Amino acid sequence: MFSKSEEQSILYGLVTVSVNGRTPSAKANYLLVQWGCQLSEKLSNSYLPTKRMMLLHFSKGELQDMDRCSEQVYLMIFESFAKRLISYEEKKDRKKLLDNYKAFMNGLISLPVNIPGTAFHACVQGSKNAIKVITDIYHERKASKIPHNDFLDRLIEEEEKENAFMDDGVAINMLFLLLFGAFESTSEAITLLTKFIFDHPEVLEELTKEHEAILKSRKNQESGLTWQEYKSMNFTHMVINETVRLANIAPLIFRKVGKEAEMKGYTIPKGWIVLVAPAVVHLNPEKYENPLEFNPWRWKEQDLHSGSKTFMAWGSGTRLCVGADFAKLQIAIFIHHFVTKYRWSVTKGGDFIRRPSLIFPNGIHIKIAEKQKC
Ligand code: HEM
């Protein structure tokens, strides 16, 4: 378990990022990963793509047509984060937090005409309703003082301190944004990855080999994934990197110009905001051979865990996604169960568009069944 001070560092890491827009300390980011890892050690009964969760979402024991795998992934990842952050369960709570997030997302980049019927109006309403649900949960928890062992507990503890650096409003906004940033991106990555590995059987084969080897060398077959096992998933990390390179989930990142700079004959004044489009680099044939090809092997013997001027799926420079390692962990866990426990194939769908986030207009439909145990 983590000590109080370590947990607080995790909290500070997230709070600093969301509230002040500053980069969390490397230690806080590291602790966030450790926290995720600690959760992963309890995989067998509590954490997201556990067998139980996957079964719940993907299969009822028989071969079946799955309507919109993408919807299921979305729900699965949402439930996972909502539970960890605020102990919210969509099915139980019936507060429709997810629907409101969807409305928010759909109109996030739209004409700002706030009249009923427009995407922008639905977006504003969606965010208001979602914030209302989170606000109610926040205040109920604060009043009840019943601990739930989730992120909200820590947040309230922090907020109630003397000289706290945030108030209720900041804490609630932070929860709203954190939940959004976490589940939307991760579920998009997993959905796209499902399509990619189905379209590339050689990748699926290599992944299956890697994960079955993990199972074979495990002493207790019933125990969950361990941190060591996770760290050994080299090919899996190559697949994740390749997926997020092509996915360009964050279509744009913002940077403020710290000092006047010259670029290709143009002067960029100090204080200007620059929009960086990672796809321009990720799909540049001078940086990546056949850039549109899904080829995890291009990451062989490359650094798989840091950003660079040619790989900025998690941001770039000193400011990176604070949840990157956590997201990678989730995706790896998903892959582990998906390739070792199930037989599956995509039956239709899989096309995607950008709006500007990745959208799968026809979902991805899959046929799935549990593999027979030998
Ligand atoms: C596939 C999944 C994900 C992708 C591709 C992704 C990507 C990104 C990118 C590109 C940024 C912008 C960084 C920058 O400005 O340079 C970012 C920021 C951020 N991400 Fe993620 N992210 C993912 C998952 C997550 C998760 C799971 C969490 C939370 C646990 C999270 C929390 C955040 C936060 C709080 C920021 C703001 C960082 C700041 O303001 O400095 N992200 N993410």
What's 341's domain CATH number? 1.10.630
Q: Does residue 328 sit within a domain? A: yes
pLDDT at 266: 93
* Distance between CA atoms of residues 152 and 160, nearest Å: 12
322: three-class secondary structure by DSSP:
coil
Q: Does residue 252 sit within a domain? A: no
Q: Does residue 223 sit within a domain? A: yes
* Distance between CA atoms of residues 330 and 80, nearest Å: 10
Task: Give kind and range of the element (H or E) at residue 316.
Answer: strand 315-316
Q: Does residue 363 sit within a domain? A: yes
Strands 315-316 and 319-320: antiparallel
pTM: 0.82
* Distance between CA atoms of residues 37 and 10, nearest Å: 13
Centroid of chain to Cα 269: 34
Residues 208, 339 contacting (CB under 8 angstroms): yes
pLDDT at 373: 63
pLDDT at 55: 44
Cα of 326 from ligand 1 centre, angstroms: 10
Host domain of residue 201: 4-87+148-233+324-370
Signed CA dihedral, 311, 315, 69, 60: sign only: positive
Which residue is it, tokens 């969606």? Answer: 126
Protein residue whose Cα sits closest to atom 14 of ligand 1 = 315
ipTM exceeding 0.95, yes/no: yes
* Distance between CA atoms of residues 304 and 237, nearest Å: 7
Protein residue whose Cα sits closest to atom 42 of ligand 1 = 323
Which residue is it, tokens 């796809």? Answer: 279
CA–CA–CA angle 41, 316, 350 (5° rounding)? 65
Continuous H helices in 63-167: 69-86, 90-93, 97-106, 119-144, 151-159
Q: Does residue 159 sit within a domain? A: yes
For the chain, 374 residues long, the average pLDDT of each consecutive 10-residue run is: 39 37 40 48 40 44 50 79 86 80 86 92 94 94 90 86 83 88 88 93 97 90 79 95 95 90 93 92 96 97 84 85 84 89 84 80 80 67
Instruction: Spell out which residues line ligand 1, taking CB within 6 angstroms.
Output: 17-18, 21, 23, 178, 181-182, 185-186, 189, 244, 249-250, 253, 313-316, 319-323, 326-327
pLDDT at 374: 52
Q: Does residue 183 sit within a domain? A: yes
Signed CA dihedral, 300, 293, 352, 370: sign only: negative
Protein residue whose Cα sits closest to atom 3 of ligand 1 = 185
Q: Does residue 202 sit within a domain? A: yes
* Distance between CA atoms of residues 112 and 116, nearest Å: 12
* Distance between CA atoms of residues 81 and 328, nearest Å: 14
pLDDT at 292: 96
Domains in the chain, number: 1
Cα of 181 from ligand 1 centre, angstroms: 6
Residues 324, 304 contacting (CB under 8 angstroms): no
Cα of 277 from ligand 1 centre, angstroms: 15
Q: Does residue 262 sit within a domain? A: no
Cα of 167 from ligand 1 centre, angstroms: 23
Task: Give kind and range of the element (H or E) at residue 207.
Answer: helix 201-216
